[in-house]
Every structure is written in C-alpha cells, then in structure tokens.
C-alpha cells in the first residue's frame, strides 16, 4: 500500500513589502489631491471640469461608439466607415482632458500663459473661404488714450462721406412692414473706426473715433433694409462715453449696451431681429474680398455659446452665411463661436433667439467697400426675412428673464 504524504506550501510574506506598498499608495493619493488643490487655488480654470471633459469628448466621432459596440457585437461593424473603425488615441484624449491642450490647436499651449492671449480664442463653427483659427475676428482692447475724445485722431479722406447717397441702390421690394420697425441695429463698441480715415493712426487697436465709426455702417444698413421694405430702427448711443462716465473698463461694454437693447425690446413689441454691428481688428488681406472685380469688406458672424438661445442664434447665422456664399462667394468669413473667461460669451444674444453680432470689415476697409457689403447683406437678409415672414416668423424673440 502506497503511503501518501501531504504537501505543505509555505508563503513568505514580507512585512517590509507591505509597508512599502501602503506608503507608495498613500504618497500617490496625497500627491494627486495636493496637485489638484494647488492648480485649483492658483487659477480655477486649470481644474478638470465638465466643460474640459466635454471639449475633449467633442473630438470623438459618433462612429467610435459603434466601434465600441462592435467589440461585443460584430453586427455594428458593418455600418462603420474606414475612419470609424479606428479608435481614438486614448493617451491624447486623457492628456487633453487633464491639461486642456490640443495638439491640433497651437493656441492651447499659450492661452493660459500669455496675458490677454484669450482674446484670440474661439471656434470656427462654419468656415468661410480662407477662414481658420489663425485669422478669426479679433475683439481687441484699445488703449485708454484712444477712447479719450479730446485726444482722438484728426480725420482725413472724409470728403466722400459728406456726399449724398444718390448712388446707393439696394433694390426695391413690393413687400413692406409698413410702420412697424422689426429690425433693430445697435453698437456695443460704438467707436470702432477704420484707419483710412484716421490721420497718423497705424495701430489697429487704436482705430477708434467718436464720429467716424461703425455707426456710419449702421446708417447704410438701415437705409438698405428700408429700401427693401423692412422697417429698421437704430440706436447710436455712445457706449464708450457711458463707460468713461462710469469709470468702467472696455470689456464691460456689453454690460452697458444690454439695457439699451432691453429698452428697445420693451418699447417696441414689433421687433423681431437684433443686430449688433462691429468692426474686426484683422488687416485688409483677411477682411477684404474681390467680387465681380470690386472690393468688398468681408462679413463675419460671431455667436456667444454661454446662453440658452445659442442654438437658435447659430441656426440663423449659419443660414445667412450659406445664402451670402451662394450669391457673393467669399464675402462671408463664416460663423465663429466665443465662450470662456476671455470673452463675454453672451453678447446680449441671450435676450433673443434672433440676435446677431455682425463684423463689418476690418480696420483697413473703406466706406466704399463697406457700402457694397451693406447692400449685399441687406439683399440676402431681406430674402431670408420675407421667407420667414411666410411662416409668421416662428423665430420671434422671447426675452430671457434674469
């Protein structure tokens, strides 16, 4: 009879290894919490937030979801394109979430390091011809002396501005709003001007003037829209003067233009569209298009993302951009969104689903070029307006209660 012997196994446990493991885990956890607390205390924008997660996830295509399903059920792989079969780079995704840095956008390396660099932030939602993140509209901040009326530049080349507008022709319309003023024009950055009319001024940030500025463009657009049957009101209140009187900074301009818009909406229940007219700080090669052999000042739509009406504002801006491009190829630079700590993020567009912020040209454009663009925009806008009118303007604004 074979005798069986029990086999005994001895497991040696090193107390030292256990202690080391506990210490390493504790140190790692403390480091993570310490670094997170330090980053948040230095500047809250460095912390990982739902917004940063959303931005990182926005780069993931919908096909990736099907790919993940396909790992469990091969049937989902049938509908995938070649690109959709590729999973995103996990390391790049995690790096983007942790640092808010995108290798596809060099601005993200500098935005939190250079003071004021955030004014170049934004996203091209619908790109016009030649538009990318390197030449998006710039919301520049002028030096204080440029906003001092007593120190502003002498004017030049203004003779053409005193002529009658007999040559202007935006066309005629058999349709009319009658006595109703349904479009309202206003100017948050009232003194944004154009260098060809400012003697001795070469700095784009200093292109400011209390008399020759974007309000002249507003006059043109009002005339052009009314020729096409659309009753238009205009408010040329000098917002910069209000800032100076209250000792406020330039970035608080929207705070001062907001009550003007609210008053207009309260006093006129017929208002359907709000248009805030601006001028870009980009140079002529970016803001000028040649159409049918003539120079036009390019247009750009800016949409604030930080409010409930964002989707509706974006829809209108996108539709107008497409219509402009179909008839005046190259005139629209596209639709650009703005949000974050370096910008207003609302631009009063939360007051109405029909609010537009429209950049007319840049610092180097002339009123002759701006006039052509005003006529073109009025024509396109009128076509859109009367088409919407047939369905009783289902996009009529609904003020947001604060």
Q: What is the pLDDT of residues 301-356, one digit of tens each?
A: 999 988 888 899 999 999 999 999 999 999 999 999 987 666 777 899 999 999 99
Higher pLDDT, 260 or 39: 260
| pLDDT in the model for residue 46 | 46
Higher pLDDT, 400 or 127: 127
| pLDDT in the model for residue 206 | 95
Q: Which two tokens stand for residue 101?
A: 């840095």
Q: What's 239's DSSP letter?
A: H
Higher pLDDT, 331 or 134: 331
Q: Is CATH 3.40.630 the right assignment for the domain spanning 144-389? A: yes
Q: If pLDDT is split at 50, 70 and 90, which confidence band does 402 have? A: very low
| pLDDT in the model for residue 19 | 81
Of 171, 357, 399, 173, whose CA–CA distance to 272 is shortest? 399
| pLDDT in the model for residue 26 | 85
Distance CA 129, CA 328 (A): 11
Helix (H, G, I), strand (E, B) or coil at 218: helix
| pLDDT in the model for residue 47 | 47
Q: Point out the least confidently predicted range of 17-21, 103-107, 389-393.
A: 103-107
Distance CA 140, CA 133 (A): 16
Is the pLDDT confidence value at 168 over 90? no
Is the pLDDT confidence value at 83 over 50? no
Is the pLDDT confidence value at 97 over 60? no
| pLDDT in the model for residue 131 | 83
Q: How much is the pTM? A: 0.71
- Sheet strands (E) in 84-122: none
Tell me what the mean pLDDT of segment 24-52 comes to: 63
| pLDDT in the model for residue 136 | 85
Is the pLDDT confidence value at 277 over 90? yes
Cβ neighbourhood burial of 172 (10 Å; 0-12, 13-18, 19+):
exposed
Parallel, antiparallel or unpaired: strands 232-235 and 332-338: unpaired
| pLDDT in the model for residue 86 | 54
Tell me what the mean pLDDT of segment 162-182 comes to: 73
Q: If pLDDT is split at 50, 70 and 90, which confidence band does 10 have? A: low
- Residue 137: which region, alpha, beta or left (left: phi > 0; alpha: psi -120 to 50)? beta
- Return mean pLDDT, the chain: 80
Spatial CB neighbours of 67, under 8 Å, sequence gap ≥ 6: 76, 77, 80, 84, 85, 86, 87
């Amino acid at each position: 009879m074979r005798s069986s012997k029990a086999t005994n196994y001895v497991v040696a446990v090193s107390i030292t290894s256990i202690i080391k493991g506990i210490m390493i885990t504790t140190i790692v956890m403390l480091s993570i919490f310490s670094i997170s607390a330090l980053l948040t205390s230095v500047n809250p924008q460095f912390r990982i937030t739902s917004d940063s997660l959303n931005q990182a996830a926005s780069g993931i295509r919908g096909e990736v979801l099907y790919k993940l399903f396909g790992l469990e059920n091969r049937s989902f792989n049938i509908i995938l394109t070649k690109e959709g079969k590729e999973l995103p780079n996990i390391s790049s995704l995690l790096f983007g979430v942790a640092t808010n840095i995108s290798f596809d956008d060099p601005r993200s390396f500098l935005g939190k390091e250079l003071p004021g660099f955030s004014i170049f932030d934004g996203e091209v939602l619908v790109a016009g011809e030649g538009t990318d993140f390197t030449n998006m509209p710039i919301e520049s901040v002028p030096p204080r002396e440029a906003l001092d009326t007593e120190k502003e530049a002498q004017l030049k080349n203004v003779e053409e501005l005193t002529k009658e507008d007999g040559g202007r022709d935006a066309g005629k319309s058999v349709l009319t709003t009658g006595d109703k003023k349904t479009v309202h024009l206003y100017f948050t950055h009232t003194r944004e001007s154009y260098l060809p009319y400012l003697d001795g001024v070469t700095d784009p940030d200093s292109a400011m003037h209390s008399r020759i500025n974007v309000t002249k463009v507003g006059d043109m657009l009002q005339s052009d829209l009314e020729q096409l049957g659309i009753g238009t009101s205009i408010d040329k209140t000098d917002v910069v003067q209000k800032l100076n009187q209250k000792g406020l900074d330039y970035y608080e301009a929207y705070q001062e233009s907001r009550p003007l818009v609210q008053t207009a909406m309260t006093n006129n229940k017929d208002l359907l569209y709000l248009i805030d007219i601006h001028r870009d700080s980009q140079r002529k090669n970016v803001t000028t298009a040649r159409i049918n052999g003539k120079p036009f000042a390019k247009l750009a739509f800016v949409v604030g993302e930080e409010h409930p009406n964002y989707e509706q504002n974006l829809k209108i801006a996108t539709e107008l951009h497409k219509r402009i491009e179909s008839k005046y190829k190259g005139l629209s630079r596209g639709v650009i969104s703005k949000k974050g700590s370096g910008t207003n993020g609302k631009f009063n567009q939360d007051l109405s689903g029909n609010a537009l912020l429209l950049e007319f040209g840049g610092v180097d454009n002339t009123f002759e070029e701006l006039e052509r663009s005003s006529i073109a925009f009025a024509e396109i806008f009128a076509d859109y307006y009367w088409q919407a009118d047939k369905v009783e303007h289902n996009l009529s604004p609904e003020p947001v209660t604060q």
